[in-house]
Structure 1
Amino acid sequence: MKERQDDNAKPPEEVRERIWELADKIDICMFTTWDGEQQHSRPLSARVRKDEHSIYFLVDQSGEKNGQIDRFPKVSCAWADNGDYKYVLIGGTAVLTNDRARIAELFTKADEAWWEDKNHPTIRLLTVTPERGELWDSPGKAVALVKMVKAVVTGDAPKMGDNAKVAL
């Protein structure tokens, strides 16, 4: 993948760091799979582990996404912080396992909304190994609004912040 950055943008390694940081901070992502005919997205809580170069999700053994991942393991994860105009997209390869030790380690109190406890037999571990990322990183809502107003007045497209694609 060709890394792309806007003029005066951050170097690729800084973009990579920011992608990991925002994905971890935002938490809930739209997890997108492919069924051979169309895409399917659903919100999932991400456990982002940059030091392991992995993103983990606890999911149920049932659900159409599991079969889609088996057939088409390339997935996308999109995070959005609309309040601050910060967005991250990570694409990679997903695999579904029944790693009970890792499930127990990642299980949180919030997961009790879906399962009784970390030992619930239907919990599965979904692991994404990131391969590429894209970042849209605005300086914040107030600055973005000023830039949009200026664009309307001048007729020029607003420069909304960093946008870059990098290999992960």
Structure 2
Amino acid sequence: MKNEKNIAILKDMAESVRTCMFTTFSAHDGFGSRPMGTAKIEDDGSLWFYTNEYSPKTKEISKDEQVLLAYSDPGKNTYLTVKGKAELVDDAVRKEAYFSPFIKTWFPDGIEDPRLILIKVTPEEAEYWDASASKIVVLFSMLKAVVTGDTPDLGKHDTIKF
């Protein structure tokens, strides 16, 4: 039951933003991040992305499967990081099921593009901050903390495991 709750938090926060900074590691270049749109989040919490099979990130994933995804929605004051293991998947059924016209921008031949491959990220741990109360409520909490010397209540913060 706990894992279902954690997956629900992950899905809710990541689906509301859709685009994350996808960070990989290369022994030669160190950390590398790039914005990537989330194609699908499955019920088991796995996150799926489209990419070019010959991109630097696929080489990095082939050598080091650990990745970090960072989702941010400053307008709602919500933030999510996901640590997980990435793998390259060439699955025609999923390519078709998760495809959207937006992907066609990078892959004009659609799911038939020979460079098109999927990245599956299996989450291991996530950390989130959710202060989605109105900015007035957050500001009031901060001002109250200044006056009382207490710590302001800026919403929920937790680390969750999968």
* TM surpasses 0.5: yes
Match for 2:152: what amino acid? P
Quote how far apart the aligned CAs of 1:34 are: 0.7
Q: Which residue of 2 aligns with 1:101?
A: 93
Quote how far apart the aligned CAs of 1:130 are: 0.8
Which is further off, 109-118 or 137-146?
Answer: 137-146
Q: Which residue of 1 aligns with 2:111?
A: 118
Higher relative contact order (CA 8 A, sep 6+): 1
**2:152 counterpart of 1:161:** no
Q: Which residue of 2 aligns with 1:144?
A: 138
Q: Which residue of 2 aligns with 1:19?
A: 10
Match for 1:76: what amino acid? L
Which is further off, 146-155 or 158-167?
Answer: 146-155
Match for 1:97: what amino acid? V
Of all paired residues, the percent bearing the same amino acid is 30
Q: Contact conserved, 2:6 with 2:161, CA < 8 A, in 1?
A: no
Q: Which residue of 2 aligns with 1:58?
A: 50
Report the count of equivalent residues. Answer: 158
Quote how far apart the aligned CAs of 1:49 are: 2.4
**2:79 counterpart of 1:87:** yes
Q: Contact conserved, 2:7 with 2:45, CA < 8 A, in 1?
A: no
RMSD, aligned CA:
2.0
Quote how far apart the aligned CAs of 1:13 are: 5.8
Match for 1:51: what amino acid? D
Which is further off, 83-92 or 96-105?
Answer: 96-105
Q: Give 3-state SS (helix, strand or coil) of 1:118's partner.
A: helix
After TM superposition, list the pairs within 5 Å mapping 1:15-54 onto structure 2.
15-36=6-27, 38-54=30-46
User: Any unmatched runs of 5+ in structure 1?
Assistant: 1-10
Which is further off, 76-85 or 49-58?
Answer: 49-58
Aligned partner (choices 59, 64, 80) of residue 72 of structure 1: 64
User: Any unmatched runs of 5+ in structure 2?
Assistant: none
Q: Note closer, same or farther for the CA distance 1:153–1:109 as it changes in structure 2 (3 Å cut).
A: same
**1:95-120 deviation per Cα after TM superposition (whole angstroms, max 9, x unaligned):** 01222221122110111111112211
Match for 1:130: what amino acid? P
Which is further off, 13-22 or 113-122?
Answer: 13-22
